[in-house]
Amino acid sequence: MRAAWASVSKSRWLRVALAVVFGGACAAAVAATHEVVIPTSGVIKVRLGGDRAETRVVIDLSQAVSAKVDEADGAARQLVLFLPTVGASGVLQGAGRGLVRSWKIDNTSRGGRLALRLDRPGMIRRRFLLPPTDTVSAYRYVIDIDADPGQSAPAIETTSVLTIPAEPAEPIATAFAPVATAPVTMAPVPAPRARHSVKVVVIDAGHGGQDPGAQSATHAEKNITLPAARALASRLERDGHYKVVMTRSSDVYVPLEQRVQIARRAGADLFISLHADSGSDAAIHGASVYTLSDQAGGRVTQVLDRHEWFSRMAAREGDPAVGQILLDLTQRSTRNRSSVFAQMLVDRIAERVDVLPRSHRDAGYFVLLAPDVPAVLLEMGFISSPRDEKRLVDPAQRGRLMDAVSAAIDAYFAGQTRLAAR
């Protein structure tokens, strides 16, 4: 796309820089980044990235700024912010990306005025200023905009979203070696790809081998999770709609990092880890579902290797920030989709078993760290509760719970299909 400003088109310093369009499907929609170099006393460039569900606007500045929201009427599709200490040379404007149809910066008595015209109703989710770093010389004022949740969801596309980096790229951890007790063929992590009609579901039976997990007087968690994983796998494989991958199919120990790598290298569309909880009070019982907490997202480097598609893109473009750009949005999209599935899962299992209050929770569990695989951890009940333990070790009752889990997986992918068809 080409951006133009008629009022400054004859200036000798006007330059229009096109951002790179990055391909590759990922679990969520992806669009090209738009970057325009602007000659002003404060604004260096404006960049936009994202899709019609979530869009990030970044203003690169030569100085720090504390912006003020003047008009945040997302329903009227207009967002206005003032940048008190920033001046613009004339009226600067350009085409948008994602939720933003167009943007304009002009001078007022209150400083630079940024007007964002939206393509559909939306709202500002957060704003923050990032200082210069060793690799980024400018200040960056970041504005994250989300679509109005009351509106119908946008169609899921089959390309990958490029957004603006919240931080410079960080060192990428090396790959983890496979463990001899549970050998797995380790192919290179593939680039994001279009979603396939046969969905890949990775089922992780928690613990195993020398790691028994939680224990009661008569049972170990590892001996509950494996039969449950097998029961779920058999249900998913019945109609041929799913390819099921098990992180373990016997009583072996599989390190947590390898479980994540199994899911990523399988090109998983969904990862579900099965566990049984324990507590000091035998009266506490009920199931719960966990997704990755926002605070734990920074640990993602522990499951990445140096050959990730994020870093390959950065190397290809000669910009170290590009890898973090792609990783940032990929993580956001994955967490969103994990939460969608988690709520579906809670709704389905609550029809079959008791669930804890606040049954959808978040935590920093290692097995949930894959940045590009929607993942949940299901605590099927408390092994420390006689009531739950009886249910967990009974094949019939365990099967009914896995029926509910299977139904949630069906509903999740059916919802994706409906969105993609719009």
Same domain, 134 and 248: no
> 3-state DSSP: the chain helix, strand, coil percent, rounded to 5?
30, 30, 45
Same domain, 113 and 225: no
* Structure-token pair, residue 78: 């207009």
Judge whether 159 lies within some domain.
no
pLDDT at 350: 94
Q: Which CATH number do you get for residue 260?
A: 3.40.630.40
Handedness of CA 207, 208, 213, 218 (dihedral sign): positive
pLDDT at 144: 84
Judge whether 156 lies within some domain.
no
Same domain, 257 and 399: yes
Q: Which CATH number do you get for residue 33?
A: 2.60.40.3500
CA-nearest of 53, 56, 104 to 78 is 104
* Structure-token pair, residue 233: 């796998």
Judge whether 190 lies within some domain.
no
Same domain, 219 and 112: no
pLDDT at 157: 30
Judge whether 391 lies within some domain.
yes
Neighbours of 229 (CB within 10 A): 23
Same domain, 84 and 219: no
pLDDT at 89: 64
pLDDT at 194: 44
Same domain, 117 and 211: no
Query: pTM value?
Result: 0.56
Same domain, 137 and 223: no
Same domain, 118 and 238: no
Judge whether 155 lies within some domain.
no
Contact 85, 111 (CB under 8 A): yes
CA 102 to chain centre: 26
Domain extent at residue 58: 6-147
Same domain, 139 and 213: no
- How far CA 257 is from CA of 44, 191, 237, 346, in Å, comes to 41, 19, 26, 26
Q: Where are the beta strands (DSSP E) in 19-53?
A: 34-37, 43-50
DSSP one-letter code for 10: T
Judge whether 173 lies within some domain.
no
| Residue the block writes with tokens 């926002």 | 294
Same domain, 226 and 126: no
Same domain, 77 and 215: no
- How many distinct structural domains can be found in the chain? 2
| Triad 348, 353, 356: Cα angle to 5° | 90
Q: From first to last of the 422 residues of the chain, give the pLDDT tens digit.
A: 334 433 333 333 333 333 333 333 333 333 334 444 443 457 888 888 877 788 888 888 888 887 888 766 555 688 998 888 777 666 778 888 888 889 988 888 888 889 999 988 888 887 877 777 666 678 888 888 888 766 554 433 322 223 333 333 222 222 222 233 333 333 344 444 444 578 999 999 999 999 999 999 899 999 999 999 999 999 999 988 999 999 999 999 999 989 999 998 898 999 999 999 998 899 999 999 999 887 766 667 676 666 665 666 656 656 666 666 667 777 788 888 999 999 999 999 999 999 998 899 988 888 888 888 999 999 999 999 999 999 999 999 999 999 999 999 999 998 765 444 43
Same domain, 129 and 57: yes
